[in-house]
Chains A and B, each alone.
Chain A
Amino acid sequence: MNLSMKWLADYVKVDVDAKKYCYDLTMTGSKVEGYEVEGENIKNVVVGKLLSVVPHENSDHLVVCQVDVGKEEPIQIVTGANNVKAGDLVPVALDGSDLPNGVHIKKGKLRGVESNGMLCSLGELGLTKHDFPYAIEDGIFILEEDCKPGDDIREAIGLNDTSVEFEITSNRPDCLSVIGLARETAATYGIPFETPKPEYNGIRGNVTDSLNVVVENEELCKRYIGGMVKNVKIGPSPRWMRERLRASGVRPINNLVDITNYVMLEYGQPMHAFDARFIVGNEIHVRNAREGETITTLDGTVRELSPEMLVIADTEKPVAVAGVMGGEYSGIMDDTVDVIFESACFDGASIRRTAKKLGMRTDSSARFEKGLDQEGCMPAILRAFQLVEILACGEPLDTVIDCCAKKRERKTVDFDPKWINSFLGTDIPREDMVKYLKNIGFEVVLNKVIVPSFRVDIECNADIAEEVARFYGYNNIKGTELTGVANARLTEDRKLRRKLEQACNALGLYQIETFSFISPKYYDKIGLPKDSKLRESVTISNPLGEDTSVMRTTVLPSMCEVLARNYNLRNPEASLFELGTEYLPTEEGKLPYEPDRLSIGIYGGGADFYSLKGIVEEIFDSIGIDGVEYEAADQNCGFDEVSMFHPGRVAAASVNGEKLAIFGEMHPEIAEGYGIGTRVYCAKINVDVLLKLDYSERVYKPLPKYPAATRDISLICDDSLPVASLEKLIKGAVGSVLERVKLFDVYKGEQIAGGKKSVAFSIVMRSAEGTLNDEQADAAMKRVKKALAEIGAEVR
């Protein structure tokens, strides 16, 4: 809502500068986005009177003018315009002047003749023909205003208003009007304010003689007032009206249409004007549109209507989409004689749906959809008639048709100053509260507040508390500290997340944050099987684009995208992790399961499968999980993402049969698809499973008192035999004195037969009872060798 300060001054006189005004109104709840001083960017442009116009000696199309600009001597200006003659009053940009389009005018010579400025057109002053209908677009603006040479052009043509842009919240449609904002302004400064009561004389006549109104849907049309103006004289509206419309951001059209817009801006009540000639049957029907009906709206577009939409129709066809836009056919034209004014109250939700469906949000629909006051219809039409008489552009009848006007009880809310103070934490005297409320049109009678009808938003005592608070001043309320016992803690899942973050950081991984929605094509990029359950995503019905259209069922594609991006940015190495969410559909109509996942992605810096595995192991260790088992992962590993990994370099981790993680080297073809020209390693850990695990607190083990005995063993076995199974075997064979088995070498190649590998372990044994002697250690090693021999491993 743009408010003209000149217009405001009709109702409230405020004596502060624009900046202060904007601040003050913002602090009482009418938020100001900014303000614009009209003509601010026009400098040193004055009214000039042409004394003489003679041809240029060196040019056919230039003329040389002597111009009286209010100084002792006239100045000489050369112009190319051909619509000027001696005696004309014109805008003159003097030497050193600024124009709205950023042009700076300086004196100079045109074809050898001195020119001390420029004569201006409408466009050069930032205006259009709508602002001054008597002027021409392509030529110098010949002023018909009451002004004299030397006057500042901004004063001369009324380009001196200040327009304040308010951001009115949806609960306050009453403030989408000059009067509403005047009331708030008066209350802000404690100035008395009277709501205007427009009056007009009218000509005698019964409107029902020439018009009938039938409201067929009283649910969607709460009130409909129709009035008639006879013998209108269509023409431009006067300058003051055009200026105010312009300052409010509305284009002037003609006097009758301008009146309807003027009333909407001033009273907040949208109005419409019909040419009575085109209302077939002289009947207005407020009804739902019929299947297949169309209307060409004022903007020249053919609109298809549907039955839930409310229309204004004559006996044959719709003539307007109720509360949204009028029809082209019945609009006001230059030869219109009789005009029907409509001032109605339509259902907000219905208007909102219709405007949305037709894709045209207008100043009118934006007001209606917030729910207007049906008491506002009558003052608006009276004001319109008053303006017709002020403009002398027609003869309003002295009667109106008022349909569905129901007498409503005024809303009342309990007034309990004690409760208000206890709710706000203040100590505001009752009489101050009463004063604040009265200033904005509320009445206080004993322990009740009577709410003015235009305050559609007020329903309960908290609403009254807000009205009191905003005029008392939010910032005058002194803050207090919360009292009472508070028992705060991090949830288990957030604790776990923090532990994981710490471990990842310590392992050199940087955290990333990616979008939760992805493209369904991402599933193809990681080679998910066509029948994978992970392809069933929660799908957004109105996405921004395909790229962000489904909620991810796996976090890995997001990680791959980030790895690829960093690779393309020529970052030589990357070690990343994300704590992200997956969205796994459950039942139709139910919310998805949203488990947390830890994803890891690494390339460069000498990373290999085992460095990734080391990271995964350390992460499990850091949060206190023991007994994790690792095995080569295949199609049945429980992670469909196995498809994105190198089939020989991918492992799944589990504990007690619970699937914990999948990790490995990215399949070379998948990496190629992402444009990554190096080996890439990825992991996904199910944080939700980690959270469910039973963590036993770690218990202190006494530090060893006796020295350990260490024996190394080297063996040759089938290459296919997993090292983990050898380790398990050794552990079993050594028995209770085993402290740890540590792999220190795996070798394949020269001196080792094909299909075989050499593996070496260091075995550390220790007893809590005493120093192990050689015999005890050797006996254990004997058992190890025997067990290894049994599975065909040859001890070297």
Chain B
Amino acid sequence: MKQALEKIELAAKAELEKIGDSAELENLRIKFLGKKGELTAILKQMAALSAEERPVIGQLANRVRADIEEAVAQKAAELKAEASQRRLIEERLDVTLPGKAPKLGKLHPMDSVMHEIEDIFIGMGFDIVGGPEVEYDYYNFEALNIPPDHPARDTQDTFYISDNILLRTQTSSVQIHVMENRKPPIRIVSPGRVYRSDAVDATHSPIFHQIEGLVVDKGITMADLIGTLDMLMKRLYGEECKIRLRPHHFPFTEPSAEVDVLCFNCGGKGCSMCKGEGYVELLGAGMVHPKVLRNCGIDPDVYSGFAFGLGLERIVMRKYGVNDMRLLYENDLRFLEQF
């Protein structure tokens, strides 16, 4: 019997060597360890043994069973590891294939830049306000110190609806609305569309966007204007950005200035983008003209203020290197997808 047990053990171990998958392993387990298995069959014969032999054989039988069980368990673990390894190899992907994702849409580049500028101004304490695009002559011109037949009207070719209604040529019209409706201190910006009778080409559009700024309070100085514009440009273009003012004339500001920023392409050395100047023109600004304050019922002897106007398209085109303004209004998806 002892021999029989040892034989079973050897046979089981020999068969285990050849097992290739878990189904075979299960068959083997049943064959040797099952209720009707070989080991059980042997053990059934234990009754016929002598009292001396029984514990010896019993011990041996238990050890054989335990050994086979352990060997089966070990084999099972091996098979599982192999199977798992195989699966991982089979499931290998080409990770360079393109991803699949629900497609997000995108903001129009003008709107994303507009948001950026609005947010900068909010951070600087400016309220954002709107105003009508179809406007009375009074708000667009007269109240801004541009009476009828003023030569400055020539520089802004105006679309007229009737004698006294027009499409606003500048967001400066909002200055008047704001000053009529709010008491100083005033600190606002007003973004929006403006209209000028320019034919469409690479650098002109009859519709474009401006962002008007206005600050009115006691003791507002030209130095405040310069400090504000300097901060705006640094936030928009980075700390190394510098501004430069040139005296200019706008009927509704005095003193008036055109403001240039250091060319971001060449950093001031002079390149084709800034036409060798080292600076590019970006906005107009000035101290609100006393007549304009008075037109809005604000006493220029008590209050002073500054105003400025930025052109959005120019900023967007510079930012993204767009060289043709028409692209901004054509809405070709191949263009819109790039931002």
Could you tell me if B197 and A470 are in contact, using CB atoms closer than 8 angstroms? no
Chain B 225-239: CB-based contact to A (< 8 A → 1; otherwise 0) = 011111100000000
Could you tell me if B207 and A515 are in contact, using CB atoms closer than 8 angstroms? yes
Q: How far, in whole Å, are A569 and B332 apart by their CA atoms in the complex?
A: 8
Query: Which residues on B sit within 8 Å (CB–CB) of A171?
Result: 249, 251
Tally of contact residues, B, Cβ under 8 A: 87
Chain A 435-473: CB-based contact to B (< 8 A → 1; otherwise 0) = 000000000000000000000000011110110011000
Task: Say how far A426's CB is from chain B's closest CB, in angstroms.
Answer: 7
Q: How far, in whole Å, are A425 and B223 apart by their CA atoms in the complex?
A: 5
Could you tell me if B255 and A489 are in contact, using CB atoms closer than 8 angstroms? no
Query: Which residues on A sit within 8 Å (CB–CB) of B330?
Result: 565
Between A29, A171, A513, the greatest number of chain B beta carbons within 10 A of the residue's beta carbon is seen for A513
Known: A462-B255, A462-B289, A566-B331. A594 touches B224 (CB 8 A): no
Could you tell me if A508 and B104 are in contact, using CB atoms closer than 8 angstroms? yes
Chain B, 28-52, CB within 8 A of any chain A CB: none
Could you tell me if A510 and B287 are in contact, using CB atoms closer than 8 angstroms? no
Secondary structure of the B contact surface, majority rule: mixed
Q: How far, in whole Å, are A87 and B184 apart by their CA atoms in the complex?
A: 82
Could you tell me if A489 and B135 are in contact, using CB atoms closer than 8 angstroms? no
User: Is B308's beta carbon under 8 Å from chain A?
Assistant: no
Could you tell me if A589 and B162 are in contact, using CB atoms closer than 8 angstroms? yes
User: Is B296's beta carbon under 8 Å from chain A?
Assistant: no
Known: A462-B254, A494-B118, A513-B108. A470 touches B247 (CB 8 A): yes
Between A422, A512, A576, A577, the greatest number of chain B beta carbons within 10 A of the residue's beta carbon is seen for A512
Could you tell me if A486 and B249 are in contact, using CB atoms closer than 8 angstroms? no
Nearest A-chain residue to B277, judged by Cβ: A23
Could you tell me if B162 and A541 are in contact, using CB atoms closer than 8 angstroms? yes
State which of B107, B126, B222 has its C-beta within 8 Å of the C-beta of A477: B222
Nearest A-chain residue to B275, judged by Cβ: A34
Binding-face segment, A207-215, A543-551, A653-661, A765-773: A543-551
Nearest B-chain residue to A561, judged by Cβ: B331
Could you tell me if A504 and B105 are in contact, using CB atoms closer than 8 angstroms? yes
Nearest A-chain residue to B248, judged by Cβ: A169
State which of A31, A170, A426, A566 has its C-beta within 8 Å of the C-beta of B246: A31
Could you tell me if B247 and A482 are in contact, using CB atoms closer than 8 angstroms? no
User: Is A553's beta carbon under 8 Å from chain B?
Assistant: no
User: Is A782's beta carbon under 8 Å from chain B?
Assistant: no
Could you tell me if A513 and B111 are in contact, using CB atoms closer than 8 angstroms? yes
Could you tell me if A490 and B334 are in contact, using CB atoms closer than 8 angstroms? no
User: Is A514's beta carbon under 8 Å from chain B?
Assistant: yes
Q: How far, in whole Å, are A481 and B234 apart by their CA atoms in the complex?
A: 13
Task: Say how far A614's CB is from chain B's closest CB, in angstroms.
Answer: 13
Between A494, A543, A574, the greatest number of chain B beta carbons within 10 A of the residue's beta carbon is seen for A494
Could you tell me if A542 and B159 are in contact, using CB atoms closer than 8 angstroms? yes
Task: Say how far A599's CB is from chain B's closest CB, in angstroms.
Answer: 12
Could you tell me if B134 and A583 are in contact, using CB atoms closer than 8 angstroms? yes
User: Is B244's beta carbon under 8 Å from chain A?
Assistant: yes
User: Is A404's beta carbon under 8 Å from chain B?
Assistant: no
Chain B 198-236: CB-based contact to A (< 8 A → 1; otherwise 0) = 010000001100000001010111111011111100000
Nearest B-chain residue to A513, judged by Cβ: B108
Task: Say how far A454's CB is from chain B's closest CB, in angstroms.
Answer: 16
Could you tell me if A480 and B187 are in contact, using CB atoms closer than 8 angstroms? no
Q: How far, in whole Å, are A501 and B112 apart by their CA atoms in the complex?
A: 10
Could you tell me if B331 and A565 are in contact, using CB atoms closer than 8 angstroms? yes
Known: A426-B223, A575-B105. A538 touches B134 (CB 8 A): yes
User: Is A303's beta carbon under 8 Å from chain B?
Assistant: no
Could you tell me if B222 and A513 are in contact, using CB atoms closer than 8 angstroms? no
User: Is A746's beta carbon under 8 Å from chain B?
Assistant: no
Q: How far, in whole Å, are A748 and B127 apart by their CA atoms in the complex?
A: 57
Could you tell me if B127 and A569 are in contact, using CB atoms closer than 8 angstroms? no
User: Is B171's beta carbon under 8 Å from chain A?
Assistant: no
Chain A, 509-563, CB within 8 A of any chain B CB: 509-517, 538-544, 548, 551, 562
Query: Which residues on A sit within 8 Å (CB–CB) of B244?
Result: 475
Query: Which residues on B sit within 8 Å (CB–CB) of A597?
Result: none
Query: Which residues on A sit within 8 Å (CB–CB) of B187?
Result: 482, 486, 488
Q: How far, in whole Å, are A431 and B193 apart by their CA atoms in the complex?
A: 46
Could you tell me if B255 and A466 are in contact, using CB atoms closer than 8 angstroms? yes
User: Is A18's beta carbon under 8 Å from chain B?
Assistant: no
Could you tell me if B104 and A505 are in contact, using CB atoms closer than 8 angstroms? yes
Between A423, A482, A488, the greatest number of chain B beta carbons within 10 A of the residue's beta carbon is seen for A482
Known: A460-B290, A480-B227, A513-B331. A591 touches B127 (CB 8 A): no
Q: How far, in whole Å, are A513 and B337 apart by their CA atoms in the complex?
A: 14
Q: How far, in whole Å, are A370 and B135 apart by their CA atoms in the complex?
A: 26
User: Is B241's beta carbon under 8 Å from chain A?
Assistant: no
Could you tell me if A469 and B331 are in contact, using CB atoms closer than 8 angstroms? no
Query: Which residues on A sit within 8 Å (CB–CB) of B197?
Result: 542, 544
User: Is A26's beta carbon under 8 Å from chain B?
Assistant: yes
Nearest B-chain residue to A474, judged by Cβ: B245
Q: How far, in whole Å, are A488 and B124 apart by their CA atoms in the complex?
A: 8
Chain A 495-513: CB-based contact to B (< 8 A → 1; otherwise 0) = 0001001001111111111
Could you tell me if B122 and A489 are in contact, using CB atoms closer than 8 angstroms? yes
Could you tell me if B331 and A562 are in contact, using CB atoms closer than 8 angstroms? yes
Task: Say how far B290's CB is from chain A's closest CB, in angstroms.
Answer: 6
User: Is A300's beta carbon under 8 Å from chain B?
Assistant: no
Could you tell me if B149 and A501 are in contact, using CB atoms closer than 8 angstroms? no
Q: How far, in whole Å, are A370 and B244 apart by their CA atoms in the complex?
A: 28
User: Is B89's beta carbon under 8 Å from chain A?
Assistant: no
User: Is A158's beta carbon under 8 Å from chain B?
Assistant: no
Could you tell me if A494 and B128 are in contact, using CB atoms closer than 8 angstroms? yes
Known: A486-B126, A543-B159. A480 touches B136 (CB 8 A): no
Query: Which residues on A sit within 8 Å (CB–CB) of B154?
Result: 170
Query: Which residues on B sit within 8 Å (CB–CB) of A424?
Result: 221-223, 255
Task: Say how far A515's CB is from chain B's closest CB, in angstroms.
Answer: 5
Q: How far, in whole Å, are A479 and B232 apart by their CA atoms in the complex?
A: 12
User: Is A110's beta carbon under 8 Å from chain B?
Assistant: no
Chain A 193-232: CB-based contact to B (< 8 A → 1; otherwise 0) = 0000000000000000000000000000000000000000
Could you tell me if B106 and A505 are in contact, using CB atoms closer than 8 angstroms? yes
Nearest B-chain residue to A459, judged by Cβ: B291
Query: Which residues on A sit within 8 Å (CB–CB) of B161?
Result: 538-541
Between B129, B164, B227, the greatest number of chain A beta carbons within 10 A of the residue's beta carbon is seen for B227
Task: Say how far A554's CB is from chain B's closest CB, in angstroms.
Answer: 16
Could you tell me if A475 and B193 are in contact, using CB atoms closer than 8 angstroms? no
Q: How far, in whole Å, are A349 and B152 apart by their CA atoms in the complex?
A: 12
State which of B130, B207, B224, B249 has its C-beta within 8 Å of the C-beta of A172: B249
Query: Which residues on B sit within 8 Å (CB–CB) of A418?
Result: none
Nearest B-chain residue to A169, judged by Cβ: B249
Could you tell me if B128 and A491 are in contact, using CB atoms closer than 8 angstroms? yes
Could you tell me if B135 and A591 are in contact, using CB atoms closer than 8 angstroms? yes
Chain A, 338-390, CB within 8 A of any chain B CB: 348-349, 352-353, 369-370
Query: Which residues on B sit within 8 Å (CB–CB) of A475?
Result: 244-245
Could you tell me if B334 and A569 are in contact, using CB atoms closer than 8 angstroms? yes
Could you tell me if B247 and A469 are in contact, using CB atoms closer than 8 angstroms? yes
Chain A 559-587: CB-based contact to B (< 8 A → 1; otherwise 0) = 00010011001010011110101010000
Known: A474-B257, A482-B187, A540-B160. A170 touches B152 (CB 8 A): yes
Could you tell me if A489 and B149 are in contact, using CB atoms closer than 8 angstroms? no
Known: A169-B248, A425-B222. A463 touches B152 (CB 8 A): no
Beyond contacts A463-B254, A488-B128, A515-B207: 9 other A-B pairs, Cβ-Cβ < 8 A, are A28-B247, A170-B151, A425-B226, A465-B254, A481-B228, A513-B329, A542-B160, A569-B332, A589-B162
Which residues of A approach B to under 8 Å, CB–CB? Answer: 26-29, 31, 169-172, 348-349, 352-353, 369-370, 422-426, 460-463, 465-466, 469-470, 474-475, 477-482, 484-491, 493-494, 498, 501, 504-517, 538-544, 548, 551, 562, 565-566, 569, 571, 574-577, 579, 581, 583, 589, 591-592, 594
A-B contacts, 20 listed (Cβ < 8 Å): A31-B248, A170-B150, A370-B151, A423-B287, A425-B221, A460-B291, A469-B247, A479-B229, A485-B185, A494-B130, A505-B107, A506-B104, A512-B331, A513-B329, A514-B331, A515-B206, A515-B207, A538-B134, A566-B331, A576-B331
The list of the 9 closest CB pairs from A to B, nearest first, reads A486-B125, A425-B223, A425-B221, A479-B227, A29-B247, A466-B255, A169-B249, A349-B149, A479-B226
